């Protein structure tokens, strides 16, 4: 079953999965994530406990593979795997760090302001409901919003353009006031 889902999901983008373009794949993905989330909620696992359990399973699997003589890794195999991982991760890590630098230094006022606003809203919601409920809510939003967007694209685009115009208007006012304040200090 898992191999069928993996083969069907090849070539799909994240949007395709979340917008239910292939319902089997999206259903299995949503079910798996909800099952893991339910497991965390019911067992009241913390991330440390969960990572320790995964480590224990990996070590147990290593012992079993060692006893059955089915797994032989050489030092060269490990070096090749690490090199492949580094080659794959380096460009993504550089891009992420550059984005974080631009976000923290307020190079793009709009994006930094939006992140600040979203962080305040999420913090407020986190104070009102539990983390698990908040995570479940965002997970369900991630799987429903793309499908709704595709069905009501024109209406939503109009709302977004109106909201963007308002945000840009206020961000422009804030930017002007900040620039005036910095000029007065000089």
The secondary structure of 154-178 as a DSSP string is: HHHHHHHHHHHHHHHHHHHHHHHHH
Q: What is the dihedral of CA 137, 139, 144, 146, to 10 degrees?
A: 130
- What confidence score (pLDDT) does residue 47 get? 67
- Domain ranges, ordered by start, for the chain: 152-186
CB neighbour burial string for 126-155, b if at least 16 within 10 angstroms, e if fewer: eeeeeeeeeebeeeeeebeebeebeeeeee
CA distance 159 to 167: 12
Q: Are 40 and 132 in contact (CB under 8 A)?
A: yes
For CA atoms 77, 79, 85, 91, give the dihedral sign. Answer: negative
Distance CA 110, CA 107 (A): 9
Q: How would DSSP label each residue in 114-145? A: HHHHHHHHHHHHHHHS-HHHHHHHHHHHHHHH
Measured distance CA(73)–CA(58) in Å, rounded: 15
- Residue 13 CA to residue 149 CA, distance in Å, equals 16
Contact 151, 144 (CB under 8 A): no
Both tokens of 55, joined, read 């480590």
Within the chain, strands assigned E span: none
Rounded Cα gap, residues 179 and 48, in angstroms: 46
* Residue ranges in the chain whose pLDDT is less than 70: 1-4, 44-47, 186
């Amino acid at each position: 079953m898992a191999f069928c889902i993996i083969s069907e999901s090849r070539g799909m983008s994240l949007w395709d999965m979340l917008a239910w373009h292939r319902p089997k794949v999206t259903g299995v993905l949503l079910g798996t994530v909800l099952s893991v989330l339910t497991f965390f909620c019911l067992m009241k696992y913390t991330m440390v406990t969960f990572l320790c359990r995964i480590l224990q399973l990996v070590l147990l699997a290593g012992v079993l593979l060692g006893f059955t003589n089915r797994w032989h890794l050489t030092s060269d195999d490990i070096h090749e795997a690490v090199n492949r991982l580094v080659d794959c991760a380096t460009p993504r890590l550089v891009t992420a760090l550059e984005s974080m630098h631009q976000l923290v230094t307020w190079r793009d006022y709009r994006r930094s302001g939006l992140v600040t606003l979203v962080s305040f809203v999420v913090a407020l919601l986190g104070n009102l409901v539990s983390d698990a409920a908040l995570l479940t809510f965002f997970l369900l939003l991630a799987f429903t919003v793309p499908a709704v967007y595709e069905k009501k694209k024109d209406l939503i685009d109009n709302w977004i353009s109106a909201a963007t115009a308002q945000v840009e208007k206020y961000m422009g006012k804030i930017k002007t006031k900040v620039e005036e304040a910095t000029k007065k200090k000089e």
